Every structure is written in C-alpha cells, then in structure tokens.
Amino acid sequence: MFQTESVGGALGGNVLAIIWQLIARYRARMWLAILFGTLSALTTILPAVGAGFMVGALLDGDRVTAALWAGSMIVGAALMIVLFTISTSISHLIAADVQADQRQIIGDKLKRVPLGFFTRFSAMDLRRVLIDDVEKLEDGVAHLIPEITAAYVGPVALLVIMAAVDWRMALAALVPTVLGFIFMMIVMRDGVEVTNRYHKLQANIATTMGEVVKVIPVVKTYDNSGSALIRAHQAIADFQDLITDWIDRAVVPANWFFLFATSNLLVLTPLSIYLLDIDGTDLPTVTFFHLAAMSLALLIAGLFGISNRTRQQEGVIARWQSLMAYPEQEVATTGDGPDGSDIVFSNVSFRYDRALVLDDVSFDVKAGTSLALVGPSGSGKTTIGRLLARFWDVGDGKITIGGRDIRAIPPHRLAESLSFVFQDIFLFSRSVRDNILIGRPDATEEELLQAARAARVDEFVSRLPKGYDTVVDGSLSLSVGQKQRISIARALLRNAPILVLDEATAYNDPENERELQGAIAALTAGKTLIVIAHRLSTIRHCDNIIFLDSGRIREEGTHAQLLALDGGYAAQWRTHMAAREFSLRNRQAGGDAS
C-alpha cells in the first residue's frame, strides 16, 4: 500500500502549500474565488451593523428608517450567500480541472514506472489513489483554499470594526473564543494523533474488506470463515476500540471548543449592561456587539473545521506524493531494436528490497536455442524472466538481446522481440477475439484463427454463444486451462523471436496437455526460448538447463550432463520421477477399479 504516515507526518501544515502548487495553472481564477469568498465573509458584519442602526432608529421613533435597516440586514445576508455561491462555483470548476489534471499526472506516472510496480501494488491501492483520493481532493481545492483566506480575514476584519467601535466589548467578545482555542490546542494535541489513527484504521478496514470479498470463494471452499476472516474482525475490533478513545480525545474536546467559542455572550452581556449604566454606551451599540459577537464565534469555529479537513487532505497528498516518488524507469525513446535474438545475462545481481534475489548470474542463450530455468521455489526463476522484459532493471551487471543492452532498446522495439506466457493470465472484459488480438492487433482473420486453432482455443470457442465475439466477463466462466490457451494463442499470434514460458502448461488437464505441448512446440520452433518450469519432463529436451538455488547458478548443462553430475538437478529429477510414477500408479488403480 502507498505510504500515508511518514510522508503525511512530514507534511504537517504544508498540505495547503502543496495543493496551492497543484492549482498553479488556475491561480488567477482561484484568486477570484478567494476574493468573492473573502467579500462573503466580510458581509457577515452587515446584519450586525443593520441591527444596531435599526434599534437606533426605533429608539428615535423613526419606524421607516428602522424598516429600511431591517431590510438591509436581509440584503446583507442574501449578499453573503450570493458572494459565497460565486466563490464556490468558481472553485468547483477549478477543482474539476485539477482532478482531471491529477488523473492525467497519475496516469503519466504509471506509464513511467517499471512494469514491476504493478506486481507490488494491488488494483485496490491504485484505485484508491486514482479514484478515491482524486475525489477527496475536491474538498481541498474547491473549499479549503478559497475558504481559508475568508476564514482568517473575516474574523480579523470583524474584530477591527468591533474594536474601532468599542475596544472593551470587542475584547469581551474575543476572550472566551481565544480561551476556547487555547483549550482546544492543549487538549487536541492528543486528538491529532488519535484522529490520524482513526483515518488510518478506517482505511485499513476498507483494504481488509476488499480482501475479504476476494477470498470469499477460498473461505467457502474450506469452510474456514473463523480463521480466514480474523484480519477483518481484527480491523473492525481495532476500529471499535479506537472509536471510544477518539470520541474522548478528539470529538468531546472539539465540542468543548464550540462551547467556549460561542459562549462569549456570557462575558459580553454583563459587560454591556454595566457599560450601559456607567458611561453612556447606547443600546444600538450593544445590539451590534451581540450580533457581531455571535458572527465572530461562528467564523472562528469555521477555522476549527478547516484545520480538521486540512488533516484529512494530508492522507490524500501523502499517498499521491508516495506514488510520485516511486522510482521511474529510464527508457530510450530512439534507437535500434535488438540485432538478433541472442540473450546474454552478464553478472546480473538484483534485489527487490534488501535481500539479494539474483547473485552474479551469467548465462547466454544463443538465437534459436532453448534454456530451461529450474530450481526450488523462490530461487529466482520468474525474476530472471521479468528482468528480461524490464519489469525492473538489474542492480548490477547487464542483460543484452542481440548484443544490445535492453536498457538502450526503445520499449516498443523490446516488446516486439519478446512474447510471454505468464503464470497469471489477464483477460480483458472484451471479446475472445480482442483478447487474442492483443498479441498483434493488425493480424488478419486467417492468422487469428490459425493461432487459435494451434492453441486449441477454437474447440471451446465454437461452443460459446457468440463464438469469438463472446465477451470475456463475469458471466462467462472459462476454466484456467481455457484462459491459458487464449494466452498461448496471443503469444502465437505475436510470433516474436524470443519466447518466455512461465509454467505455461501447469494448469492444463492431462488430456489437453499433450495437444497443448504440440502447440507450444509449433510456437517455439525456431525461437529463442526460455522456459521457467517445475515439471521437469517438459524441459528435458532443452538445449541447456540452469539449476538455480537462492539466486545463484549452481549447475548448468544438458539434461544428461546434469543427471551425470548427480547434484541438485538430479535430486529434483528423481523426486519428479517418483511423483510421476506415484500419480501414474494411482491413475491405473483408478482405471482398474472402474
């Protein structure tokens, strides 16, 4: 998952500055939104002023003027709403533009990160940054930025006017609110931490629930909901535990603050009555101060809401920054493709995180020959295949294809030379035809059908309701073997000079396997081939076999040479043969019984 904490912690109050940078292209319009927002905040003084003059007119017995002032109060309130609406309309339009920009920026970033990035971050992580967070950014751009200036300017302007009229009553309106602020800052020191945890645990629940939905079939198969859902239960329990803490340390203090902020009348009213008596302060002024004090409290309370929402934006910005900081892969934009299909790994070392996964690996595969990579699980076989496709770049050493360092080959030229059949098959929610054509979009119908026949796709496609035009979606349940055959058809169609097969036939049923092996033989004929295999029977005829263990090449040679060596490969071969014999005997026993 993308980081939210460390970057978020470092962000602190910078989050608004970062949002300000994000809207760089729209600053002129944003200034306009800020201007209208600030004018709207300033108009909050109008009802108080109007009320003061209205009372003055009433005391003079001038009812017409009083009515006019009453009308001005309504106009003032309406003006406030109109100005605010203009401000927020402008800022929402900017927010929509910024959101579109952000999606573009993230999309561009995703084009520049190495392919391996997508094996490390789940679709859910990406969805969160690309969709949910971009949605949330709307509050930052459309509300926080224009409102923050108004939230500061409004109370200050109000206070200046109040102080100009009577500094004593201005102070009385201000003091409880300031006390509320100080109180809030002391109590909310803990509240910030607990609110951050609240947001984190909330995100954790979302992630775990997403996982739960994914594992439901497994859970049901094993009838093991107790243990499989433990993480989800734990996430919910953690959240429930925190809620009480959060209410005690963040919600209650926040309400105390509102109480303090709006309780300035408790000080102002006795003071104003006292002043009425002793020094000729008049009733209109007292009326003005009472309404102005309430406006002041509300404006300052608004500041509190802003600081809370700013904190929510921190997570959004932190995840975005974490994505943007992900190392990019340098790609050549010009240059030739590989000159031939010889593959050479020279002293290649590689680590995903800390541990070395490939350690000084060197080998070559001559054009048109085959290499099999074998070894225990986790020995680095798949990593070698992925490095060849530049899922990641090597740490040390280099990989060349046709004598050219793959880092110097433009990606489309590299892609033209390689075909992959991976363990994980991804099919798009499009027709079977489109899914095969991904291998070569400009292939003719005849070429497509030829590839489909060779990969034995046509057999099951003819039984589908719309044949090759049937859409591969949730309603169409293809077996793993069928999906695998589609992916082989793709590779056949691509007809690239180098082919990497990662356990390509591991999931196919025995009846299909022989035919599929035939198709693969057609696919691999004349190609430079790297097979990543567990079932050694499929690779015994390879020109060269490398036995890997813990990221190092331990043995290399033909099947016969490695057997003669009697090392790790021979041991794995013996295990394989024993397992095969066992399964054959079982099948025979099953056959006899029936």
Ligand X SMILES: Nc1ncnc2c1ncn2[C@@H]1O[C@H](COP(=O)(O)OP(=O)(O)OP(=O)(O)O)[C@@H](O)[C@H]1O
Residues binding ligand X (CB under 6 A): 119-120, 352-353, 357, 375, 377-383
Q: Crossing angle of helices 283-324/252-262, nearest 10°?
A: 150
Side-by-side strand order, sheet with 404-405:
356-365, 343-351, 396-401, 404-405
DSSP secondary structure string for all residues of 78-137: HHHHHHHHHHHHHHHHHHHHHHHHHHHHHHHHHHHS-TTHHHHS-HHHHHIIIIIHHHHH
Nearer to ligand X, 548 or 562 (CB): 548
CA distance 411 to 423: 22
Beta carbon of residue 548, minimum distance to ligand X (angstroms, whole number) = 7
CA distance 534 to 5: 41
HSE (side-chain half, CA atoms, 13 Å) at 63: 0
Nearer to ligand X, 234 or 575 (CB): 575
Nearer to ligand X, 327 or 335 (CB): 327
Beta carbon of residue 392, minimum distance to ligand X (angstroms, whole number) = 8
Beta carbon of residue 120, minimum distance to ligand X (angstroms, whole number) = 5
CA distance 298 to 281: 25
Nearer to ligand X, 84 or 350 (CB): 350
Beta carbon of residue 393, minimum distance to ligand X (angstroms, whole number) = 14
Per DSSP bridges, beta strands 343-351 and 396-401 are antiparallel
DSSP secondary structure string for all residues of 200-267: HHHHHHHHHHHHHHHHHHHHHHHT-HHHHTHHHHHHHHHHHHHHHHHIIIIIHHHHHHHHHHHTTHHH
Beta carbon of residue 501, minimum distance to ligand X (angstroms, whole number) = 13
Beta carbon of residue 350, minimum distance to ligand X (angstroms, whole number) = 9
Alpha helix locations (H) across 429-567? 432-437, 445-454, 457-461, 480-494, 510-524, 559-565
Whether 390 contacts 411, CB under 8 Å: yes
Beta carbon of residue 178, minimum distance to ligand X (angstroms, whole number) = 53
Of all helices (H) and strands (E), which one includes residue 352?
Answer: none
Cα–Cα distances in angstroms (integers) from residue 145 to residues 14, 23, 96, 198, 321, in the given order: 13, 10, 14, 24, 19
Nearer to ligand X, 120 or 200 (CB): 120
Nearer to ligand X, 86 or 113 (CB): 113
CA distance 268 to 233: 52
Beta carbon of residue 423, minimum distance to ligand X (angstroms, whole number) = 7
Single-letter amino acid code for the residue at 132: D
SS3 372: strand
Beta carbon of residue 331, minimum distance to ligand X (angstroms, whole number) = 20
* H helix count then E strand count, the chain: 24, 10
Beta carbon of residue 148, minimum distance to ligand X (angstroms, whole number) = 41
Residue partners of 246: CB distance under 8 A and separation at least 6: 194, 195, 197, 198
Nearer to ligand X, 138 or 549 (CB): 549
Q: Where do we find the tokens 């003055």? A: 56
CA distance 412 to 389: 11
Tokens of 220: 């049901």
Beta carbon of residue 160, minimum distance to ligand X (angstroms, whole number) = 59
DSSP secondary structure string for all residues of 435-450: HHHTT-TT--HHHHHH
Q: Crossing angle of helices 15-22/63-112, nearest 10°?
A: 80
Nearer to ligand X, 246 or 350 (CB): 350
Q: Where do we find the tokens 């602020």? A: 181
Nearer to ligand X, 288 or 345 (CB): 345
Nearer to ligand X, 76 or 114 (CB): 114
Nearer to ligand X, 386 or 559 (CB): 386
Beta carbon of residue 353, minimum distance to ligand X (angstroms, whole number) = 6
Beta carbon of residue 231, minimum distance to ligand X (angstroms, whole number) = 21
CA distance 126 to 83: 38
Nearer to ligand X, 457 or 548 (CB): 548
Cα–Cα distances in angstroms (integers) from residue 38 to residues 35, 88, 139, 152, 452, in the given order: 5, 11, 18, 9, 66
Q: Where do we find the tokens 């997403």? A: 210
Nearer to ligand X, 47 or 380 (CB): 380
Nearer to ligand X, 182 or 579 (CB): 579
Beta carbon of residue 303, minimum distance to ligand X (angstroms, whole number) = 45
